[in-house]
């Protein structure tokens, strides 16, 4: 079986990796229906995260259960399933508290850009759809594995509620799905910060009411101008840089909330500034598993269509071009079909 492997910055290869096998009784093997490239894959791709031994790539997946270990009881071969990038047992205290991505037995699923995938802790990790999905529903179901669950968590962590004013920092796929999530949660006004026309268009389609193209002081001034001078009630930080985090903090009203889901790279918070900003701050790796049943239901009933973030679909063996297109911002997000 061939799969994606990252050799060095901007050097992704599709090459022989060996077939995954059941190694523990709690494992499952799934046949991937679709996988994709994540914004966070671009950190090592761009050389910002160092690559030591060439790692297999990919952590977003959905597909048909091929085989299960002897201890697996909740999913069975033939079912269509979705799981998170963190496998979790769904029974430990952290899972029970709603934080499966901090499961005490969590395992990163990191080799999903391939036709077959081993998923650990299958009972805790995988959620089956009510039936086999139609082919055109698969992109939306795939997003629930990470990008949509992460946008949803950003909105959830920022305490988006009906009628609130929301600002979204970052117009990547997560930010755009943060817009969709905020709309679904009933936000009154949704300000998307974006400079790119195609992304602005999708943001509006997902529910953005305002677009702010400025950044820094000017961006803050625009947000304040739209919010009675005080800042947004809820801000979704969907990038992970010092600039985007500072933008988020300065755009939030005192007492407002920031949900941050961009993996921080070189971000430092100054304690005193954060103190006087008076904001609520919550984030981390999205507890995707918590949201799967609800989000599957929304996709299944046609209430949301997050799969629209995929503006490039390629056969899996062209994975390298999928990375390039996102790196060069020619694509928002690349879907890969084995």
Lookup: tokens for 198? 């195609």
- Of these, 71, 97, 108, 132, which contacts a copy of itself (CB under 8 A)? 97
Cβ distance to a copy of itself smaller for residue 230 or 320: 230
Cβ distance to a copy of itself smaller for residue 47 or 254: 254
Residues 256-275 that bind a copy of itself (CB under 8 A): 260, 263-272, 274-275
Q: Tell me which stretch binds a copy of itself (CB under 8 A): 101-109, 111-119, 193-201, 307-315.
A: 101-109
CA 269 to chain centre: 23
Cβ distance to a copy of itself smaller for residue 162 or 302: 162
Helix (H) / strand (E) containing 325: helix 319-327
Distances (CA, A) of 103 to 145, 191, 214: 16, 33, 39
Cβ distance to a copy of itself smaller for residue 2 or 224: 224
Question: Comparing C-alpha atoms, which of 25, 267, 262, 293 is closest to residue 144?
Answer: 293
Per-residue x/- mask for a copy of itself, residues 232 to 251, rule CB under 8 A?
A: --------x----x------
Cβ distance to a copy of itself smaller for residue 2 or 282: 282
The reply on whether position 53 binds a copy of itself by CB under 8 A is no
63-66 CB contacts, 8 Å cutoff, 24+ apart? 63/30, 63/31, 63/32, 63/33, 63/34, 63/117, 64/30, 64/31, 64/33, 64/132, 65/28, 65/29, 65/30, 65/126, 65/128, 66/28, 66/29, 66/30, 66/31, 66/116
Per-residue x/- mask for a copy of itself, residues 55 to 94, rule CB under 8 A?
A: --------------------------------------xx
Residues 6+ apart with CB under 8 A from 271: none
The reply on whether position 280 binds a copy of itself by CB under 8 A is yes
- Of these, 59, 253, 289, 308, which contacts a copy of itself (CB under 8 A)? 253
Distance of closest approach, residue 197 Cβ to a copy of itself, in angstroms: 30
- Cα distance between residue 200 and residue 197, in whole Å: 5
Q: Which residues of 304-321 are buried (b: 16+ CB within 10 A; e: fewer)?
A: bbbbbbbbbebebebbeb
Lookup: tokens for 316? 């899996």
Distance of closest approach, residue 19 Cβ to a copy of itself, in angstroms: 32
The reply on whether position 102 binds a copy of itself by CB under 8 A is yes
- Of these, 254, 303, 329, 330, which contacts a copy of itself (CB under 8 A)? 254
Question: Comparing C-alpha atoms, which of 282, 308, 38 is closest to residue 155?
Answer: 282
The reply on whether position 50 binds a copy of itself by CB under 8 A is no
- Cα distance between residue 100 and residue 87, in whole Å: 8
CA angle 15, 17, 19 (to 5 degrees): 135
Cβ distance to a copy of itself smaller for residue 104 or 329: 104
Cβ distance to a copy of itself smaller for residue 46 or 76: 46
The reply on whether position 225 binds a copy of itself by CB under 8 A is no
The reply on whether position 161 binds a copy of itself by CB under 8 A is no
Residues lying near a copy of itself in the complex (CB under 8 A):
93-94, 97-99, 101-102, 104, 228-230, 240, 245, 253-255, 260, 263-272, 274-285, 287
């Amino acid at each position: 079986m061939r799969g994606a492997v990252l050799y060095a910055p901007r050097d992704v290869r599709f090459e022989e990796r060996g077939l995954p096998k059941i190694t523990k009784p709690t494992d499952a093997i799934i046949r991937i229906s679709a996988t994709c490239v994540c914004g966070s894959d671009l950190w090592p791709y761009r050389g910002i995260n160092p690559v030591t031994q060439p790692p297999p790539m990919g952590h977003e997946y959905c597909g048909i259960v091929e085989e299960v270990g002897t201890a697996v009881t909740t999913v069975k071969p033939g079912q269509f399933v979705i799981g998170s990038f963190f496998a979790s047992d769904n029974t430990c205290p952290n899972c029970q508290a709603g934080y499966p991505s901090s499961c005490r037995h969590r395992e990163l699923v990191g080799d999903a850009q391939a036709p077959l995938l081993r998923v650990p802790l299958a009972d805790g990790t995988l959620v089956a759809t009510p039936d086999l999905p139609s082919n055109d529903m698969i992109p939306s179901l795939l997003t629930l594995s990470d990008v949509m669950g992460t946008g949803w968590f950003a909105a959830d962590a920022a305490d988006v509620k009906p009628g609130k004013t929301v600002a979204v920092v970052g117009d990547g796929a997560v930010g755009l799905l943060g817009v969709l999530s905020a709309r679904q949660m009933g936000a009154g006004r949704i300000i998307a910060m974006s400079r790119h026309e195609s992304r602005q268009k999708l943001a509006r389609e997902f529910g953005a009411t305002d677009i702010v193209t400025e950044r820094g002081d000017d961006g803050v001034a625009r947000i304040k101008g739209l919010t009675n001078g005080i800042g947004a009630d809820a801000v979704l930080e969907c990038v992970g840089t010092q600039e985007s985090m500072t933008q988020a903090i300065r755009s939030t009203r005192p007492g407002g909330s920031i949900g941050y889901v961009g993996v921080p790279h070189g971000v430092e918070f100054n304690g005193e500034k954060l103190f006087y900003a008076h904001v609520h701050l919550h984030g981390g790796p999205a507890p995707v598993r918590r949201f799967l049943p609800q989000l599957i239901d929304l996709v299944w009933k046609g209430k949301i269509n997050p799969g629209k973030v995929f503006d490039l679909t390629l056969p899996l063996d062209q994975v390298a071009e999928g990375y390039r297109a996102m790196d060069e911002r020619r694509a928002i997000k690349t879907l890969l079909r084995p």
